[in-house]
Amino acid sequence: MKITIACVGKIKEKYLVSGIEEFTKRLTPFCKLEVVSINEEKMPDNPSAKEKEQILAKETERLVAVIPDNSFVIALDVVGQQLSSTELAAKFDELAVQGTSHITFVIGGAFGYADELRKKADLRLSFSKMTFTHQMIRLLLIEQIYRAFKISRGEKYHW
């Protein structure tokens, strides 16, 4: 299976970079992981609603452009469906049985993304009702992808 993570911005914190590298390495036997990061738009300190809308539209347009054709699109969205790790593993299994070989997860920037992306998504997924930075959620997502593959294969994950 191929998994693409389309996201906004670069990871700056060393502890997040280290965690992402570790779980990316662990995923190697299970899937081909590709992270496609677009540049973050500069947001003024106190943006008007119109400025915020324009910036989100620009980022969303660039995110949509990097989503591979024929992939199953899962947009991370605060108001999306919440799944347990076991349910995410079952979703991967279900997609594989249906012949889906490519999943794309989309992580918006600090202010999210425009509705155009929500409409393109096959599934909108929420990690929690809590708010996380978009950099931190990238690490959490990669860890959950790894956990889902371990669960699907009946392999031990918890020690």
Q: Does the residue 158 lie in any domain?
A: no
**Cα torsion angle, 51, 44, 8, 123, sign:** negative
Q: Does the residue 69 lie in any domain?
A: yes
Q: Does the residue 36 lie in any domain?
A: yes
pLDDT of residue 117: 95
Given a contact cutoff of 8 angstroms between Cβ atoms, the answer to whether 59 and 38 are in contact is: yes
Q: Does the residue 157 lie in any domain?
A: no
- The two tokens of residue 96 are 């594989």
Q: Does the residue 32 lie in any domain?
A: yes
CA-to-CA distance for 67 and 104, rounded, in angstroms?
Answer: 7
Structure confidence by residue, pLDDT tens digits, 58-105: 999 999 999 999 999 999 999 999 999 999 999 999 999 999 999 999
Given a contact cutoff of 8 angstroms between Cβ atoms, the answer to whether 157 and 31 are in contact is: no
Q: Specify the CATH number for the domain of residue 80.
A: 3.40.1280.10
Q: Does the residue 159 lie in any domain?
A: no
pLDDT band (50, 70, 90) for residue 6: very high
Q: Does the residue 123 lie in any domain?
A: yes
- Domain count for the chain, please give it: 1
Residue 144's domain comprises 2-152
Structure confidence by residue, pLDDT tens digits, 32-53: 999 999 999 888 888 888 988 9
Chain-wide mean pLDDT for the chain? 94
